[in-house]
Structure 1
Amino acid sequence: MIDGEGLAAFIAVADLRSFSRAADRLGIAQSVVSKRLRRLEDQIGAQLIDRSVRTDIRLTRIGAAFLPEASEAFAKLTATERLGWNLGRGSSGPLQIGFVFSAAISGVLGRILSALRKELPDLRLVPRLMETPEQLAALDAGRLDIGLIRPRPSYPARCRALQAHCEDLVVCLSAEHPLSAQAALSPRQLADQRFIVPQFHEQVGLIDNIRRLAEAGGFDLQPVVRTDDFVTAACLAAAGEGVVLAPASLSRLQLDGLQYRALRDFDEQLRTMLVHHVEAPGEALRVILRTLEGTAPHP
């Protein structure tokens, strides 16, 4: 009988076109991915992946035809397993938690993990650094229980969202930047500045705050520098490549040559949302909500 591990290995390799990246996604060794995939191919009696060129992983004709069915079967298997697991327990087993970088550096993630560890010691915490779009897809597919993300206009149908954290925005810039002499900056002072935007795979989010900042300052936004994450953006700002609009908690990241300046005459804040699947473990969710409300019981 085909097992879920083999399907998961095949789907990951097919999605990522890489055995090493598939291993990273699944949290196992690359050799284990290969072994599970071979076992699946033996079970169905056909080769699914063309391994003739190691640097160019491709699906065979049979593999391409099998992939949609495998994905559907694995999704149903995962949902069935999760349903039975959640019915049978509420305070043990793995808890899959996705988070954006700022949720960690602001301390929100740490408070949640600490509360869960104290109150539910049998729970196995599995936190994963993931950008917002990736978390939403994983929540929708049932691969995540909890997500700490940037706000979105809408969320997956079987998920619920609430605000977990809110903080001021600051400007990150080089210590040699002329504006670094100012204690606080107004939107108008940021006219003609080149903005470095982390998380450039997202079409909404921080870029919307930057657009509204430009509107408040009465200037047209110049072409932005796009990066994958806040750390890269901060390093570029320190090097003088531009300025970064960032959550105030990023100031805990101390880099040589980087300065943080408060914003005045611009009241927007950056929010972090807690999104949970409706089938997320109830007891763990209650602990998280008490923690965010500041009513977690003292040990």
Structure 2
Amino acid sequence: MERPELPLPQLHAFAVLAEELHFGRAATRLGIAQPPLSQQIRRLEEKVGHALFSREPGHVALTPAGRELLPAARRALSDLAEGLAAARAVGSGRAGCLRIGFAASLALTVLPGLLHTFRQRFPEVRLNIHEMTTAPQIAALHDKTIDIGLLREPPTDEPGLGFETVLSEPFVAVLPSAHPLAATRTVETAQLADSPFVLLPREVGPGLYDRITGLCTAAGFTPRVAQHAVEWQTVCALVETGLGVSLAPASIRRIRLRGVAFRGLRPATARTRVAVAWRSNDPNPLVSRLLATVSQVPQRGLL
């Protein structure tokens, strides 16, 4: 049996009349004349198939059918009001869900201040945070499984995506504490020519890998890679065991390992770029909200 559809304006009129139990006062609250109110109630009663109000001179009361319908009518009206408020909040960029991908090392620099500031400004927004390296972030942006990426050394030309530099961070040499160069304050890149290297695989971050190997090439040698590791924490742990040395963003110094020394790298112009990435022409207003927040968050003196 087909269930009759109950129009929300008629339910609204019914709920107001059920509260006032007076056609004149209910019509005034609704901002309409009394005859149109009576017509809406009659149409609703026709759909229900039973009278919802008993009408006697000077007295209006709910019938048993009306008393049964009233809680459901109130729930429907409440759900609609909540849905409209939520839709307006999402449409205006005050609420909704924002999915953010980030490179693990950025948890040591950009990410904490950015999320703290954004949550203070937009407490109703749900944030889904996904740790991933640069190449998977690019793929996730194209697949629309994340809305914003925070990554290192973005590609120079990626159709459909926009990039904006967040900070430029110096490189450091990552050395076993027993390495002879650990006794110095700074290291020339060329001084690492004879040491094996521990690096991130190129496929997870082509731009950063090429930047590091490019620094070595500029210093006159090709790095001899002894071991790959996907995370900087693992790179540092492998350096600690003596498997090799590495070049890393300066923020990696916050990874505290007793057997690892971090030393400044010369030339001082050797830096890595951190960028925010997004889909061009993304209609989600939360994307522009976060982009505006990024530019206002201090980056702990790493610039």
Query: What TM-score do you get using the length of structure 1 for normalisation?
Result: 0.65
2:224 aligns to what SS in structure 1?
coil
Q: Which residue of 1 aligns with 2:164?
A: 162
Change (3 A) 1:291 1:147: closer
Q: Which residue of 1 aligns with 2:285?
A: 282
Q: Which residue of 1 aligns with 2:127?
A: 125
Measured in 2, the distance between the counterparts of 1:238 and 1:280 equals 47
**How high is the sequence identity, in percent, across the aligned residues?**
31
How far apart are residue 292 of structure 1 and its match? 2.1
Q: Structure 2: which amino acid aligns with 1:121?
A: P
* Superposed CA offset, 1:9-65 (max 9, x none): xxxxxxxxxxxxxxxxxxxxxxxxxxxxxxxxxxxxxxxxxxxxxxxxxxxxxxxxx
Change (3 A) 1:280 1:229: farther
Q: Which residue of 2 aligns with 1:78?
A: none
Q: Confirm or deny that 1:90 pairs with 2:99.
A: no
How far apart are residue 113 of structure 1 and its match? 0.6
How far apart are residue 287 of structure 1 and its match? 4.4
How far apart are residue 184 of structure 1 and its match? 0.5
Give matches, 1:1-299, under 5 Å: 88-106=91-109, 108-154=110-156, 156-202=158-204, 204-277=206-279, 278-279=281-282, 281-283=284-286, 285-294=288-297
Q: Structure 2: which amino acid aligns with 1:238?
A: E
* Greater mean deviation of Cα atoms: 234-243 or 272-281: 272-281
Change (3 A) 1:111 1:155: farther
2:138 aligns to what SS in structure 1?
helix
2:126 aligns to what SS in structure 1?
strand
Change (3 A) 1:286 1:192: same
2:258 aligns to what SS in structure 1?
coil
How far apart are residue 284 of structure 1 and its match? 5.0
How far apart are residue 152 of structure 1 and its match? 3.0
Contact between 2:135 and 2:206, CA under 8 Å: does it hold in 1?
A: no
Measured in 2, the distance between the counterparts of 1:123 and 1:211 equals 40
Change (3 A) 1:203 1:129: closer
Gaps of 5+ in 1: 1-83
Root-mean-square deviation (CA, aligned residues, Å) is 2.4
Q: Structure 2: which amino acid aligns with 1:246?
A: A
Change (3 A) 1:280 1:250: farther
Larger radius of gyration: 2
Q: Which residue of 1 aligns with 2:4?
A: none
Q: Structure 2: which amino acid aligns with 1:127?
A: I
How far apart are residue 280 of structure 1 and its match? 5.7
Q: Structure 1: which amino acid aligns with 2:154?
A: R
Change (3 A) 1:90 1:156: farther
* Superposed CA offset, 1:86-127 (max 9, x none): 973422111100000121112x11111111111101000111
Measured in 1, the distance between the counterparts of 2:263 and 2:88 equals 48
Measured in 2, the distance between the counterparts of 1:93 and 1:275 equals 19
Gaps of 5+ in 2: 1-86, 299-303
How far apart are residue 224 of structure 1 and its match? 4.2
Query: What TM-score do you get using the length of structure 2 for normalisation?
Result: 0.64
How far apart are residue 235 of structure 1 and its match? 0.1
Measured in 2, the distance between the counterparts of 1:181 and 1:132 equals 33
Count of residue pairs the alignment pairs up: 211
How far apart are residue 199 of structure 1 and its match? 4.1
Contact between 2:101 and 2:132, CA under 8 Å: does it hold in 1?
A: yes
Change (3 A) 1:283 1:272: same
Q: Structure 2: which amino acid aligns with 1:100?
A: A
